[in-house]
Amino acid sequence: MDKARNEQFERKIDIFGQKLGLVKNISTKLENQQAVQSAQKPEKTLEVIEELQCALEELFVAEEEIKAQNEELAIAHDQIAAERQRYQELFEFAPDGYLVTDPSGIVREHNQAAASLLNMPKSALVGKPLANYIALKDRHALRYQLNRVQELERLPEWEINICPRQSQPFAAAITIATVRDRQGKVTDLRCMIRDITARKQAEEKLQKIQVQNLQLQESAKLKSHFLAIMSHELRSPMNAIIGFSQILLRQAPPNLASNQANMVERIFSNGKHLLKLIDEILDFARIEAGRMELKLAEFNLVQLVKETVEESRSLAEQKNLVLEVELNLTNPNIVNDSDRLRQVLINLISNAIKFTGEGKVAVTVEELWSDRLAIAVKDTGIGIAEADIEHIFDEFRQANQTITRQHGGTGLGLAICDRLVRLMQGKIDVESKLGEGSTFTIEIPRRVEVGNNN
């Protein structure tokens, strides 16, 4: 009950007392008058009786008010008891350990969780210093914090090692807050102890994973470095093999027998295949090591697409495929790395030709919203199964091993395209239906920004 209510109640009791006094006075007056009644006039007696009735009525009203007040008091009392019970239960069944200690850290009260954390029977903990259950190395810190909290409201959570009775120590987080009297003097300390073993274990695991991650990144870098060096070293002899076999082929009719020319031809085409493979590995290693940089310049996209398609025309004709181009650009100028964009297009077009038995391959270019462009390569070929589509841009992935083995290839081409298009701040997508054909679409900005590659 609040102070105002108390005062009001005290005032009413005063009034009640005054009225009681009045009734007493009147009744004494009546008694005195009894003795001299015979000598007095009957009017006087009537007057006194009326006064008495009046006072009695007021007394009755005051009594009613006090009764009502009493009822209110009883309700308030019940509410306070229920609240206390609720807080006691909350305290008792809280999952964390709660202890109330005196200012020096002697336990006065605690909940069930605190007793279990410290492995103590409930009643045995009261009267013991909290420091008894703290690891030796942390006791000094606890004492320091207990002194410090006298000046503060609450201490921020800190970590401490708890030594429960006859049990293994564990890491805990502890928070301490003060309870003060009206003069501001600390009367109690409220401590909350939380077992953080699981959190610590998770942190340790995370740390281990981070270290492993770093090691993995390091070994991936080493692998890319190794690949880059090896590929570079392989390129020179391979170029020599291709160059010399080409010279030999030019002199074939007079100087080489037809079976010899045939063998040199195979050396030449296998050499070219190997060189393409080495170039792909080199590119991929460079991209993975973050050493691939775009050489940005402004150029005419329409011209580049037309030239690239023409380069592939003979391949399409060998397979009787129609090769179409559709260009829908109002402004053909873009900023990008023309060599790398050509490399992506060649890869997509040669794949489309490689995996199409009959029908056509169509290349379309169009403007999209917000200064972005789309280049699509569509074929009527074998298509890609739904299950293979999600991995199609992963390195060394080939959709259908039996079919792709007939066509050769490393499974690196699309992975390189994907990484290059991402470097161009764009994205590559594929839509395909098995047996009906595929459409690979790249979406790139009209102007690739310097140093904004992801």
Output 271 or 383, the one with its CB closest to ligand ADP: 383
Q: How many CB atoms lie within 10 A of CB 357?
A: 10
Concatenated DSSP letters of 373-429: EEEEEEE-SS---HHHHTTTTSTT--S-HHHHHHH---S-HHHHHHHHHHHTT-EEE
Binding mask 236-265 for ligand ADP (x = CB under 6 A): ------------------------------
Query: Pick from 107, 172, 414, 420: which binds ligand ADP (CB under 6 A)?
Result: 414
- Under the binding rule (CB under 6 A), the answer on residue 283 touching ligand ADP is no
- Under the binding rule (CB under 6 A), the answer on residue 380 touching ligand ADP is no
The distance of closest approach from Cβ of residue 417 to ligand ADP in the complex, given in angstroms and rounded to an integer, is 7
Query: Pick from 384, 421, 442, 444: which binds ligand ADP (CB under 6 A)?
Result: 384
Contact 262, 394 (CB under 8 A): no
Sheet arrangement for strand 154-162: 107-110, 97-101, 186-195, 170-180, 154-162
Binding mask 127-166 for ligand ADP (x = CB under 6 A): ----------------------------------------
In the window 385-404, what residues touch ligand ADP (CB under 6 A)? Answer: 392, 397-400, 404
What is the CA angle 382-386-388, rounded to 5? 80
Residue with structure tokens 């992975």?
415
Output 280 or 337, the one with its CB closest to ligand ADP: 280
The 3-class secondary structure across 140-159, one letter per residue, is HHHHHHHHHHCCCCEEEEEE
Contact 376, 335 (CB under 8 A): no
- Under the binding rule (CB under 6 A), the answer on residue 438 touching ligand ADP is yes
Instruction: Please state, in angstroms and as integers, the Cα–Cα distance from residue 57 to each residue in 18, 65, 279, following that order.
Output: 14, 13, 114
Output 164 or 411, the one with its CB closest to ligand ADP: 411
Q: Distance (Å, rounded) from C-alpha 193 to C-alpha 98?
A: 6
The distance of closest approach from Cβ of residue 217 to ligand ADP in the complex, given in angstroms and rounded to an integer, is 24
Tokens of 163: 């030594």
Q: Distance (Å, rounded) from C-alpha 189 to C-alpha 99?
A: 8
Query: Pick from 133, 268, 284, 355: which binds ligand ADP (CB under 6 A)?
Result: 355
The distance of closest approach from Cβ of residue 297 to ligand ADP in the complex, given in angstroms and rounded to an integer, is 26
Stretches 24-32, 230-238, 406-414, 446-454: which one binds ligand ADP (CB under 6 A)? 406-414
In the window 311-350, what residues touch ligand ADP (CB under 6 A)? Answer: 347
Stretches 98-106, 169-177, 221-229, 408-416: which one binds ligand ADP (CB under 6 A)? 408-416
Binding site for ligand ADP (CB under 6 A): 347, 351-352, 355, 379, 381-382, 384, 392, 397-400, 404, 409-415, 438
